[in-house]
């Protein structure tokens, strides 16, 4: 697992003689802990000033080991603590000043009197939950943008103002796509395709869920995750094939 940023450079996987890595090599390192991270995401975090890789004379990015650790720290705070980039930036700045700053704790229902009512969701074994206000903060968007995503079915609450944790990832990707001019209305076909793929997975695991043996029913969850991972990889490969491109 990547550790909090140290600020120093050093050799690492796919490192060059100078101890620096290309953005593709950085992606491979980060994906061990963050399978959903993309080159676009790394570039976005750079544009937000959260990491500053060196540049070669020809303009290529070169990342130090410290840069990679810093990126891991940022991604971890987004994933585990739903923190907006502004808060993450302030946290990293305090660490660079040598201040002993504890990692912001993920608040849970009942932890504070000023808690958003939408966060008061019973813990369930099925999935983590996130309230609307925290989703807005994590995605860095306003109510109007979130309402637009909802109107196209790209984000759907699982309760009154409550979303599953995957909504943070979806919101982040929608924001990044929007930077390239891809609007929610353009993504309806992708949403429909995802629902068909999910339906296929559900069809395969349904017999396991209905089985009399409790162990077999429990195995359905693992099988669902395996099939979900395979369908995501296939979808990505098909898109790359259709575009005639290969990612690092």
pLDDT for residue 194:
86
Residues in the chain: 248
- pLDDT for 28: 92
For residues 157 and 196, give the distance between their C-alpha atoms in angstroms, rounded to a whole number: 19
Region of 143 on the Ramachandran plot (φ > 0 left; ψ -120 to 50 alpha; else beta): alpha
pLDDT the model gives residue 72: 92
pLDDT in tens, 144-167: 999 999 998 998 888 777 888 788
pLDDT for residue 3:
46
Domains 1-106 and 111-182 share a fold: yes
Domains in the chain: boundaries: 1-106, 111-182, 189-248
The rounded distance, in Å, linking the Cα atoms of 81 and 89 is: 14
Please tell me the predicted confidence (pLDDT) of residue 197.
87
What is the torsion angle, in degrees rounded to the nearest 10, for the CA atoms of residue 139, residue 104, residue 71 and residue 134? -10
Q: Tell me the per-residue pLDDT of 219-245, one tens digit each, with 9 for 90 and over.
A: 777 888 888 888 888 888 888 889 887
> How many other CB atoms are there within 10 angstroms of residue 91's CB atom?
21
Q: Compute and round to an integer the Cα radius of gyration of the chain.
A: 20
Q: Please name the residues in contact with 24: beta carbons below 8 A apart, sequence gap of 6 or more.
A: 14, 39, 247, 248
Tell whether pTM > 0.95: no
Q: State the first-to-last Cα distance of the chain, in angstroms, to the nearest integer.
A: 22
| Tokens at 21, concatenated | 């890595």
What kind of fold does domain 111-182 have according to CATH? Multidrug-efflux Transporter Regulator; Chain: A; Domain 2 (1.10.1660)
Nearest to 107 by CA among 96, 94, 120, 90: 120
Using CA atoms of 180, 144, 91, 109 in order, give the dihedral in degrees to the nearest 10: -130
Largest alpha-carbon pair distance within the chain? 65
CA pair distance 164, 156, nearest whole angstrom: 9
Q: What is the model's pLDDT at position 211?
A: 78
One pLDDT digit (tens) per residue for the chain, 248 residues: 444 454 443 334 444 446 899 999 999 999 988 887 888 889 888 888 889 999 988 889 999 999 999 999 888 887 777 677 777 888 888 888 887 666 654 444 334 333 443 343 333 334 467 888 888 887 788 899 999 999 989 988 887 778 887 888 888 889 888 888 999 999 988 888 888 888 888 888 888 878 777 777 777 778 888 888 888 888 888 888 898 877 65
CATH 1.10.1660.10 fits 1-106, yes or no: yes
* Structure tokens belonging to residue 51: 């990491």
What is the predicted pLDDT for the residue at 103? 60
């Amino acid at each position: 697992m990547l550790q909090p940023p140290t600020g120093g450079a050093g050799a690492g996987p796919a490192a060059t003689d100078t101890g620096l890595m290309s953005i593709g090599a950085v992606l491979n390192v980060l994906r061990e802990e963050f399978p959903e991270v993309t080159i676009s995401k790394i570039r976005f975090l750079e544009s937000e000033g959260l990491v500053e890789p060196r540049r070669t004379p020809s303009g290529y990015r070169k990342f130090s080991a410290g840069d990679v650790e810093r990126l891991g720290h940022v991604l971890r705070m987004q994933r585990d603590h739903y923190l907006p980039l502004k808060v993450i930036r302030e946290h990293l700045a305090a660490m660079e000043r040598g201040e002993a700053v504890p990692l912001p704790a993920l608040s849970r229902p009942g932890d504070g009197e000023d808690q958003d009512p939408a966060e008061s969701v019973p813990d369930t074994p099925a999935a983590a939950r996130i309230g609307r206000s925290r989703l807005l903060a994590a995605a860095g968007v306003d109510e109007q943008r979130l309402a637009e995503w909802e109107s196209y079915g790209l984000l759907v609450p699982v309760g009154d103002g409550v979303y599953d944790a995957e909504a943070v990832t979806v919101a982040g990707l929608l924001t990044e796509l929007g930077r390239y001019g891809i609007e929610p209305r353009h993504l309806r076909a992708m949403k429909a395709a995802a629902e068909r793929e999910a339906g296929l997975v559900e069809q395969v695991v349904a017999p396991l869920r209905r089985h009399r043996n409790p162990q077999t029913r429990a195995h359905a969850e693992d099988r669902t995750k395996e099939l979900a991972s395979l369908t995501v990889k296939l979808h990505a490969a098909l898109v790359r094939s259709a575009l005639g491109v290969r990612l690092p």
